[in-house]
Homo-oligomer: A and B are copies of this chain.
Amino acid sequence: MTTLPLTPDYDAWPIEADLESVSVTPRLVTVQWSDGRVSRYHSIWLRENAADDTTVNPATRERILDLSMLPAWPEVEGAEIDAAGALCVDFAMEDRRLRFHPGWLRAHDYDNLHDADAPLVPVTTWQGGPEAGPDTLSAAGLLDTSPNSEAEEAILAPALASVLAKGLVRLRDLPTEPGSLESIARRIGPVRPTNFGQLFDVQAKPDPDSNAYTSIALPPHTDLPTREYHPGLQMLHCLENGVEGGQAVMLDGFAVAEALRERHPEAWATLTRVRWCYANTAKTTDYVWFEPMIRLDARGELLEVRIADFLRGPLQTTFEDVEPAYEALMTLQRLLRDPVFAIRFTYRPGDLVIFDNRRLLHARDAFEGSTGHRWLQGCYMERDEIRSRYRMIQRARRRRWVTAEA
């Protein structure tokens, strides 16, 4: 019996269309699918992405082939679709037949690709206002589910989707034991510790090493902009909240940036260009980084905002740029006060807010330390972890689909 070949990775690749025909030239393999689509694959691309054990270490499914060690450019002398529906390609020089899984081939059809690295979930910017609030989900029982179970997936999948799309989610009904954030966070991925520790406690403290650890109001900001790569995610977990004031305020930094681009194009241009100094020249550490306040990725999409007035060091730029930079900064500061952007909410014990720290701005009102306790525990994580966890959920769903079809 002929079975489908392995894929070069551990993912599951459902077959949404069958291979119907194939034709070759030495450097190109052209296939037609059962739904009419035509896809072309370069011989060298197929050679490097084969799943056999001259190409991939079977134990790790990591590549062992070094293309430049082949005696010449890999050329194809023939191809056919076999009884299992796999594409079989004969490579001339190596006298080797390699088989490709049709589901995998279809999923990596770069010839018909629109946007390879489109976000996993489309990004939607949002505004605030008195009626608005974060997507809110109950996470009751999360820590009782088995890791990677369907029960865990049912809680995490919509939460991760909200973070990917809107940069924010609020989970409710979680435990209020100090330290439980670490077990919760691990359901997604490893925590990124910093000089403030693995978990940090947001409370008014006697000898504060950050404005966050006082009871004063904090303006809208991203955390740790003083790092080359400031943390992609932040989690704030409420353990106690009996104070007057101290409301949480959150803004979509991408929405603010887009508004700036539209209404104040000169300020936008300045803030995407001038590199501000971010500095935390504290008692025992000294982090400094220079970066524009708004950054775009190679595709021209918003990559991050880096805003925190209390963590800016002295601007060090050309003499001519100083006044325009401050003009642009004040334009942004005024925009940040426009109530249309902000959502406001009060933390309840057991709430966990997960947000994209390179996109969302968070702030808080001043609170009265004497009227009760306000205790949040927080931690950081990379955006990579949320994407990996979300991909694993997608994979599990595809695998169930493949199994149900088989």
Contacts and interface: CB of A to CB of B under 8 A. Distances in A.
Interface of A: 8-11, 27, 40, 42, 44-45, 48-49, 57, 59-69, 108, 110-111, 113, 116-117, 148, 189-195, 207-211, 213-214, 216, 219, 226-229, 232, 275, 277, 279-290, 298, 309-319, 322-323, 326, 329-330, 333-334, 337, 382-384, 387-388, 391-392, 395
B287 A384 contact: yes
- One complex includes copies of this chain to the number of 2
Contacts of A211: 57, 60, 62, 64
A280 B194 CA distance: 25
A285 B117 contact: no
A281 B9 contact: yes
A228 B383 contact: yes
Given A309-B63, A384-B289, A388-B285, A45 B219 contact: no
Contacts of A10: 281-283
Nearest to A309: B63
A323 B41 CA distance: 11
Quick one: which of A44, A209, A282, A388 has the most chain B CB within 10 A? Answer: A388
B27 A384 contact: no
In the complex, the 6 A-B pairs of residues with the closest C-beta atoms, listed nearest first? A116-B316, A9-B281, A68-B333, A229-B229, A286-B391, A117-B290
Contacts of A316: 108, 110, 113, 116-117
Contact of A382 (B116, B229, B318, B329): B229
A283 B11 CA distance: 8
Nearest to A206: B59
A64 B310 contact: yes
B275 A45 contact: no
7 contacts: A59-B207, A61-B282, A62-B280, A63-B311, A67-B330, A116-B275, A193-B193
Given A67-B330, A116-B317, A226-B384, 10 more contacts: A9-B281, A44-B323, A57-B310, A60-B208, A61-B282, A62-B310, A116-B316, A195-B388, A229-B382, A275-B298
Nearest to A329: B67
Contacts of A113: 316, 318
Contacts of A68: 329-330, 333-334, 337
A49 B314 contact: yes
Given A40-B319, A194-B190, A216-B57, A63 B286 contact: no
Nearest to A205: B59
Given A60-B214, A228-B382, A326 B45 contact: yes
A387 B229 CA distance: 14
A207 B62 CA distance: 13
A339 to B, nearest CB: 15
